[in-house]
Structure 1
Amino acid sequence: MKREFLNRGTITSQKFIQPRAIAVLGILAILSLSVISFSFVSRVFASPSVVATVPVGSQPEGVAYDSGKGEIFVANSYPGFSNIVSVISDITPNLVASINVGPLGRAPFGVAYDSGKGEVFVANSQSNNVSVISDATNGVLATVKVGSNPYGVAYDSAKGEVFVANYLSHDVSVISDATNAVVATVNVAIGAYDSASIAYDSDTGTIYVLNPTSNIATVISDTTNTVVATVNTGTNPRGVAYDRGKGEVFVANYGSSSVTVISDTTYAVLATIPVGIHPYGVEYDSGTGQVFVTNEGSNNVSVISDATNAVVATVTVGSSPHDLAYDSKKGWIFVANHNANTVSVISDGTLTPDFTISGNPTSQNTAPSVAVSSTITVTAVNSFTGTVAMSQNGGTSCSLSAPTVPLATNTPSGSVILTCNYTSVGTNSVTVTGTSSSLTHPVTVTFIVGGFTIDANPTSVGPLNVNQAGSSTITVAAVNGLTGIVDLTTSTAPSTGLTCTLTPSSVALGASSTSMLSCYGSTGTYTVTVTGARSSLSHSTTVTYNVGGMQDFTLSASPITVTATAGASASSTITVAAVNGFTGSVALAQNSGSTCSLSGTSIILSSTSTSDHVTLSCTYPTAGINAPTVTGTSGSLSHPATVTFKAQSSTPIGCGTGCTASITSDATISNVVSTSTTIRFTASGQSGTTAFANVTISKSSVPSLNALQVNLDGNPTTPSITSGSTDYFVYFTFPATSNPAPIEIRFAATPTPESTAPLIFGLPTSLLTGIVAAIAAIVSALIGLVYRTSKRKSKDETE
C-alpha cells in the first residue's frame, strides 16, 4: 500500500501517519518553531578555514575519527594497487602510521570507528570483506566476510554492531563487534557504492542507506534488522549524515548538486539546499551545529547551518574531495582529497588559534645571591603558528634566555629560561608575558629568598668528668620558607683536648631541624663554634664545655648473678675504680648479715692504684633467690652494687618399685609425697622472684609423655620436657611466694584414687588411715600382752 507523506515524493514504508496525527504534528511543529525563535541565541564562530594538509596514500576515500586515540583513519582506495589505511594524529596533525589490511588489490573504501571496542572497521571493496583494526596496536585483529563490493560502513553504538553497505549484492551486512561475525543480512533495493553512503541515527536506532540509482534512502531498524521506510531524495545520492542536534538526516545528491534534509521522526523532506558541484560526502559538526558537504566537482566544501538550512561558508580544499570526518576534540574537519592523495584539515572556527604560557616551577625557594631559574613554555592551541614575543618585569635582577618563541605546525611548543638572582631576603613575583598580535598571555613565577637561624641549647655544658660526654641540641630554623640542606661543622678553642661530633652533620630545612652536638675530653674550658652553611649563607652559634674537677669512683660486681648450691659458699668480685683522678678510702658494707661476708671492708685508691677489689662470699642453707647489696662510701659519695644469688638444692624421692626421681630447685621444697603415679610437694621462696623446678623421673615410670601433667597451686602449666638415656627431665618455672605453694606432677596415664585424694598433714587420706589402723593394732596387742603378763604374775603369787 502507498501513503502520501508531506514531502514531495512518494514513500513506501511500514510507518504510516493518519491525517489527524499529521494535523496535530503540524500544530506542534509550528509551536516548537515559535519557541525556538524566541529562545534561540545565534552562535557566532570564526569562518572555517584550512589549517593543514596531510599527505596520505593513493586515492583516499573513507575517513573516520577515533575519539579514544585522537587519530583519524583514512582508507586509500586505489583499485588493484592499494591495501593501506593511513593513520593521522590530530595533535600536529601528521601521518603517524600506515596499516596493511591484506594483499594488494583489496581497495579499502569505507571506514567506521567502534568507540565501544576501540576498533576500526574497514570495508575492502574488491575482496568482499571487512578488516577489523585495533587502535591500540594498529594491527588487524580479524577479517569478516560480507556481501559483494562493500563500500560504506556505519557503527551502531547502541547495539555494538557495524552495518556494511554491499553494492553488487544489494544488501547490508550486520556485524557483531563482540564476535566479529555477521549476525544478519538486510536486503535493500539498490546497493550503495560510496564510502559516505550509510549513517547511524542514534536517536531512533535506525540506519540510513543510500540507493544512488533509484534516488532513495532506505531506513533500517537496528532492532529488527528490517527495512522500515524508504525516502525519496535528489538525483544520485552519495553521502549521508545524521544531525543529532536537530534530529535530521542530510543527504548529498551528487547528480542534482543539492542536499536533502529529512526529519528522522516523520521521514518528511524538510528542505533541499543547493551546494557546490557534485556533492559527495556529508558530516555533522556538533560543535557548531553545521553540516559540512564535500563537492567533488568544485573542489570545495559547503558549510550549512542546521538552524537556517542555508550555506554559510565555502572552503576550498584539494582535488576531488570525497569523504570527511569531524574531530570533536579539536573542532576540525578532515577531508579526503581523492585525486590529490592528501587530507585537508579544516578548522570549524569554534576553536580560535591561540597559545598558552606556563612556568615550571612557578615558585622557587632560594638563598640570597644564588641564581635560580624557571622554564617558561609556550604551547600552540588550535593550530596556532607565529612568533610569540617574551618579556619579564623583574628588572635587572632577572633575564630571559631568548626574546621570542617561534611556533610552527611541526614545532607546536617552545620555551625560554627565566633566571633571577636576588641579594636580600624577601618574596619577589615576576610576570613573564607572551605576546603575538592581539593575543597576550602572562605567567607569574614567585621567587622566595630566605635564610636560616642557628641556636644551641644549652649554651654551656658541665662541669663534666674527664672523658665524660656532654651534649647540646643545635636547632636550625628556616626564614621565609627557605628550603635545602644546611651543612654543619665544628671548631674548638683551644683546638686540642676536646673531641666533638654532630649527629647528623647536615639537616634539611623545614619548620625546624635539629642536630646533636656531643663532646668529651680532658680537663679544661672549651668554646665550641657550630657553623651552618647553605650556598652563600653561613650562620654560627657557640657552646662552652667545662671538663674536669669532679672526682668520683665506680662500684661494680662480676658476676652480677651467681648460681650456687644450697649450703655451699659462692662468691662475686666487687671492684672499686677511680674516676677523674679520685684518691682516698672507700668503705664497703653488705646488708645480708652473717649469711654473707666481704674479704675486705675498705679499699684505698691512689694515683698509682686506681682500682681494687674484694670478694663477696655468701652461703645460703636452703634453696632460694637472694639479692645482697654492697655499698661503697667515701665522704658524700656513695654507690651500690647488687648481686643475685640463686641457691638451689636437689631432693631425691622414691616413687614406687623401680621408680627413681629427684627435684632440683632454687625454691625451698617441703612436704614431698610420692606414689607410683604422682609426686606432690610444696615450694616457697622470695616473693616477687621467679623460681624453677627440674624434676627427674625415670623413663620406666612414665608410660606416655602425654600423661605427664604439672599443676601449680591447682592450675595446669606446660613444662619443658627433655630426656636422657634413662630419665625424663621436667622443667618449669613459677612465681615464688613466702607461703608454700602446692605443686603436683602426674606421670601415670590413668590417675589412681590416691592421686585425687586430699592431703592431711601432707599425707593422702588412704595412707594416713592405714598408718592409724596399724598403730591401733600395735597398741591393742601391747595392752593384751600387759594384761596377760599381770594376770600370770598374780596367779604365781597366789600359789
Structure 2
Amino acid sequence: MKIWKTLFLAATMLATSGAAWAGQAPGALASPDVPISHHDRVYAAEQFSNTVSVTDPVDNRLLGVIRLGDPQPGNFSPLYKGQVLVHGMGYSPDHHTLVVVSIGSNSVTFIDTATNAVKHTTYIGRSPHEAFFTPDGKEVWVTVRGENYISVLDPGSFEEKTRITTPNGPGMQMFSPDGKYGYICSSFNPETDVVSVAEHKIIARVKQESPFCPNIAVTPEGDQVWFTLKDTGKTQVFDARPPFNPIKTIDTGPITNHVNFAHTAKGTFAYVTVGGLNEVKVFRTDDFSQVATIPVGNLPHGVWPSGDGTRVYVGLENADALAAIDSATNKVIANVPIGQAPQAIAYVPNAAPDPDERQNLQTLGVAGQVAHLALAPKERPEGGKAPTSVSLFDQGLIQILQASVTGLQPKQKYVLALAEHADGSGPLQPLAAFMTNPAGSAIVNAAGPIRQIVDQTSKLYKRYLVIASGEAAMPGEPVQIETR
C-alpha cells in the first residue's frame, strides 16, 4: 500500500510539474492553472511569533508552524541565534524552496517545502525586507531596505554573488514573467527602478508619488506593474515595458499595503489590501474600475492567489488569521487561525510531494494567544466603526501591543497611553509616541508587561488604552478611547 501511494504521489507531481507558475502572478498568463489540492501550501511569515505558518488550502486547516525564532524577551540576548521579525517571503520556480526574510536578524532563510526543514540561513545587510527568485531560478534578489542595494544571492551556494545599488531603502522587487526586467520600488525615496536582470543595471526610473512603497507586483500578462504607497494610501500603475510610462494612480485608502493578481474567466483582477479600512479592494486591470470591496478583518497585509485563481489568501496582521476569498464571489469563505502578526503570504502549488508530511512543524503554542481591542473617538456616532484596531500579542513573559491607527489628523504628533479611567480621564502613562502619515494613519508598537488593559480580574491595576494628542513628555487630551 505504501509503495502504491508513493508511486501515485510521484505520478501526480510529474503530471503537474510543468505548471511552475500556474498561470497566476508572478508567472506568465500562458502557464496552465493548477487546481487546488492537498499538495498545495499557503505560507505566512509571522513577525511577532517569529514563525512561518503552513496551511492546507483544500480544507483551510493549519498544519503547524515552522519556528524560526523565539518571542521576546528571549531574543534580546547577545547570545541569541534565532531569527527576529520574520517578515518577507518568496519561493523558487520549481516550488521546492521557500525563502523567508527576517528584518531584525538581517537574514534570509531557505526552507525545503517538502520537509519544512531549514536548509540554510544567509546573513546580509541591515534590515532586509522582501526576497524573490528570478523566473529562471538562478538568483534570489533581496531588498536591503536599511541600506541602498539589492543583495543578489546564489540559491545553490546560498552566498551573495553581487549587489545592485539603488536609492536608499529599496522596499520590494518583482520580475516580469519573461525574466527580462526587475522592478524595485523604494520605501525611503520617491523612485521605482527598472533593472535589466541579465546586466544587473538600472535602465529606467519611474516616479513614485510618495516615498513609502512596501509592495510591488506584475500582471501575469506582463503588461503592467502595480505598487502600493502606504504613507498616502494610494496604488500606482505603470507600463511594464519600455518606456515604462505611468498609467494610473488609484486612491485606495489608509494603510494601503500589498497588491497581487488573480486571473479568471472574467479577466485579470488586482487585489489590494487596505489596512486602515480592514478591507481588500478589487480592481479590473483593463479599465481600473473597482468591482468589489471585501471586509476581511483587522489590518489585512499580505495577499496571494491560488494556483488556479479561484481563491485569494490574505494575512490579517491584527487578527492573527488567514482569510480565504472566493474570487468568483469576492466573499470570505474561511478564516484560519495562524501565528502572530502575519506579514507576507505565499501560495505555493505542489509544494508538498507527500500531503501527509508534518515533520519539522510545531503547534502554535504561545503564538496563538492574543487579545483584540478597538479605539474610537469619544463622540463616535452611534453605529459608527471604530477606526483603530489593537492586538496584544502574548510573548510569555511580556506582551507586544500593535495598533493600526486611523482617523487622526495628518502629520501630527500623538501618544498611545494607558489611562486610569474608561473615559480617558486621569493621569496618562505613555507607551509610545508617534506621528501620523499624510493619510492620518500609523502602525504603532509597544512592548512590556501590559496585561492590565485586558485583565478583568484586577480592578485595582486595570488600565484603559487611549490615544492623546501631543508628545510623551506632555500628552494632551485623549482623542480616541477604548470601546466596550
**What TM-score, normalized by structure 2, do the two folds share?**
0.55
Q: Which amino acid aligns with 2:146?
A: L
Question: How far apart are 1:345 and its partner, in Å?
Answer: 1.0
* Structure 2: stretches of 5+ with no match in the other structure: 1-34, 70-80, 335-484
Which residue in the other structure is 2:319 paired with?
340
Given candidates 161, 175, 184, the residue that maps to 1:209 is 184
Hey, what's the Cα distance between the residues in 2 that align with 1:238 and 1:157? 21
Shift in CA distance, 344/351, structure 1 to aligned 2, threshold 3 Å: closer
1:255 corresponds in structure 2 to 231
Provide the C-alpha distance between the structure 1 equivalents of 2:93 and 2:38, rounded to a whole number of angstroms.
7
Q: Which residue of 1 aligns with 2:292?
A: 313
Which residue of 189, 192, 215 maps to 2:167?
Answer: 189
Which residue of 103, 110, 113 corresponds with 1:132? 110
Rounded Cα–Cα distance in structure 2 between residues aligned with 1:348 and 1:198: 25
**Distance 1:133-1:230 versus aligned 2 partners, 3 A rule:** same
Task: Please say if residues 258 and 303 of structure 2, whose CA atoms lie closer than 8 Å, have aligned partners that are also in contact.
Answer: yes
Q: Shift in Å at residue 77 of structure 1?
A: 0.8
The one of 91, 102, 106 equivalent to 1:113 is 91
Q: Distance between the aligned counterparts of 2:83 and 2:108, measured in 1?
A: 14
1:273 corresponding residue in structure 2 = 250
Aligned pair in 2 of structure 1 residues 234, 290: CA closer, same or farther (>3 Å)? same
1:74 counterpart residue number: 44
Classify 1:189/1:179 alpha carbon distance in 2 versus 1 (closer, same or farther; 3 Å).
Answer: same
The one-letter amino acid paired with 1:149 is S
Task: Give the equivalent residue in structure 2 for 1:302.
Answer: 281
Q: Deviation per CA, 1:116-173: give whole Å up to 9, x if none.
A: 2611000111111110000110010111122211111122122522111111122111
Amino acid in the other structure paired with 1:74: A
Q: Once the 2 structures are TM-superposed, how far is the Cα of residue 351 of structure 1 from its aligned partner?
A: 10
**Alpha-carbon offset, residue 86 of structure 1:** 0.5
1:351–1:302 CA distance, 2 compared to 1 (3 A) = closer
Offset, 1:190: 1.7
| Equivalent residues in 2 for 1:638-649, closer than 5 Å | none
Q: Is the 8 A contact 2:257 2:301 kept in 1?
A: yes
Q: 2:301 is matched with which residue?
A: 322
- Matched residues in 1 for 2:114 and 2:320: separation? 26
Shift of 1:70: 0.8
Relative to 1, partners in 2 of residues 1:105 and 1:134: Cα closer, same or farther, differing over 3 Å? closer
Q: How does 1:454-493 map to 2 (within 5 A)?
A: none
State the shift of 1:280 in Å.
0.6
Number of equivalenced pairs? 285
Q: CA deviation at 1:97?
A: 2.1
The one of 98, 103, 106 equivalent to 2:65 is 98
Alignment of 1:619-658 (within 5 A): none
Q: Which stretches in structure 1 are left out of the alignment for 5+ residues?
A: 1-64, 354-381, 384-799
Aligned to 2:276, the other structure's residue is in SS state coil
Q: Aligned to 2:170, what secondary structure does the other structure show?
A: coil
**Cα distance 1:66–1:163, how it changes in 2: closer, same or farther (>3 A)?**
farther
Greater RCO, 1 or 2 (C-alpha within 8 Å, sep 6+): 2
Tell me what 1:160 maps to. Answer: 138
Partner of 1:446: none
The answer to whether residue 263 in structure 2 is matched with residue 286 in structure 1 is: yes
Q: Secondary structure at the match of 1:237?
A: coil
Contact 2:93–2:137 (8 Å) recurs in 1: no
Establish whether residue 144 from structure 1 lines up as the match of residue 108 from structure 2.
Answer: no
Which SS does the other structure have where 2:216 is aligned?
strand
For residues 456-535 of structure 1, the aligned pairs below 5 Å read none
- Residues in 2 aligned to 1:140 and 1:221: alpha-carbon distance in whole angstroms: 31
The CA deviation string for residues 77-110 of structure 1, in whole angstroms up to 9 with x for no partner, is 12xxx32111111111111121022455521110
User: C-alpha displacement at 1:352, in angstroms?
Assistant: 11
What is the deviation of 1:203?
Answer: 3.0
**Structure 2 partner of 1:462:** none
Is contact 2:222-2:240 (8 Å) kept?
no
CA distance in 2 between counterparts of 1:275 and 1:198 reads: 21
CA shift, 1:340, in A, is: 1.3
Task: For residue 213 of structure 1, give the secondary structure of its aligned residue in structure 2.
Answer: coil
Q: Which residue of 1 aligns with 2:197?
A: 222
> 2: distance between equivalents of 1:232 and 1:283?
21
Secondary structure of the residue aligned to 2:226 is strand
Give the conservation status (yes or no) of the 8 Å contact 1:234–1:255: no
Which is richer in strand?
1
Please name the residue that 1:379 is paired with. none
Say if 1:67 and 1:306 are closer, same or farther in 2 by CA, change over 3 A: farther
For the residues of structure 1 that align with 2:41 and 2:300, how far apart are their CA atoms? 20
CA contact (8 A) 1:189 1:211 kept: yes
Which string of whole-angstrom CA distances, capped at 9 and with x for unpartnered residues, describes residues 374-428 of structure 1? xxxxxxxx98xxxxxxxxxxxxxxxxxxxxxxxxxxxxxxxxxxxxxxxxxxxxx
Cα distance in 2, alignment partners of residues 299 and 91 from structure 1: 25
Selected match of 1:231 from 202, 206, 209: 206
SS, match of residue 230 in structure 1: strand
When Rg is computed on C-alpha atoms for both structures, the one with the higher figure is: 1
After superposition, the CA RMSD in angstroms is: 2.5
CA deviation after TM superposition for structure 1 residue 67, in Å: 9.3
Match of 1:87?
A: 54
The SS at the match of 1:178 is coil
Distance in 2 between the 1:256 and 1:169 partners? 23
Would you say the 8 A contact 2:228–2:256 is kept in 1? yes
Q: Counterparts of 2:221 and 2:239 in 1: how far apart (Å)?
A: 12
Superposed CA offset, 1:426-484 (max 9, x none): xxxxxxxxxxxxxxxxxxxxxxxxxxxxxxxxxxxxxxxxxxxxxxxxxxxxxxxxxxx
Task: Work out the percentage of aligned pairs sharing the same amino acid.
Answer: 21
Partner of 1:238, secondary structure, is: coil
| Distance in structure 1 (CA, Å) of the matches to 2:160 and 2:177 | 21
Partner Cα separation in structure 1 for residue 203 and residue 36 of structure 2: 30
Deviation string 1:592-623 (CA, Å, 9 cap, x unpaired) is xxxxxxxxxxxxxxxxxxxxxxxxxxxxxxxx
Provide the rounded CA distance (Å) in 2 between the counterparts of 1:344 and 1:184: 38
Q: Distance in 1 between matches of 2:330 and 2:274?
A: 24
Q: CA deviation at 1:328?
A: 2.2
TM-score by length of 1: 0.34
Change (3 A) 1:328 1:268: same
The Cα of 1:213 is off from its aligned counterpart by: 2.4
Confirm or deny: 8 A CA contact 1:152 1:192 kept in the other structure: no
Deviations 1:9-68 (A, max 9, x none): xxxxxxxxxxxxxxxxxxxxxxxxxxxxxxxxxxxxxxxxxxxxxxxxxxxxxxxx9999
- Would the aligned equivalents of 2:95 and 2:113 in 1 still touch at CA under 8 Å? no
Instruction: Report the secondary structure of 2:215's partner residue.
Output: strand
Deviations 1:163-203 (A, max 9, x none): 1111112211111222222211111102135xxx3222223
Q: Return structure 1 stretches of 4+ with deviation > 3 angstroms.
A: 65-69, 102-105, 350-353
Q: Which whole-Å CA distance do the structure 1 matches of 2:92 and 2:36 have between them?
A: 8
Amino acid corresponding to residue 191 of structure 2 in structure 1: I
| Structure-2 change in CA distance of 1:178 and 1:312 (3 Å) | same
Q: CA deviation at 1:342?
A: 1.0
3-state SS of 1:244 partner: coil
Task: Give the whole-Å Cα distance in 1 for the aligned partners of 2:228 and 2:184.
Answer: 12
The one-letter amino acid of 1:321's match is P
Decide whether the 8 Å contact of 2:55 with 2:63 is kept in 1: yes
Question: What is the letter of the counterpart of residue 259 of structure 1?
Answer: T
Query: Structure 1 residues 278 and 116, CA, compared in 2 at 3 Å: closer, same or farther?
Result: same
Alpha-carbon distance between aligned partners in 1 of 2:311 and 2:157, rounded to the nearest angstrom: 33
SS of residue matched to 1:127: coil
Contact 1:293 1:303 in 2 (8 A): yes
Quick check: 1:242 aligned with 2:208? Answer: no
C-alpha contact 1:66 1:73 (8 A) present in aligned 2: no
Q: Which amino acid aligns with 1:237?
A: C
SS at match of 1:174: strand
Find the aligned partners of 1:137 and 1:327 in 2 and give their Cα distance.
21
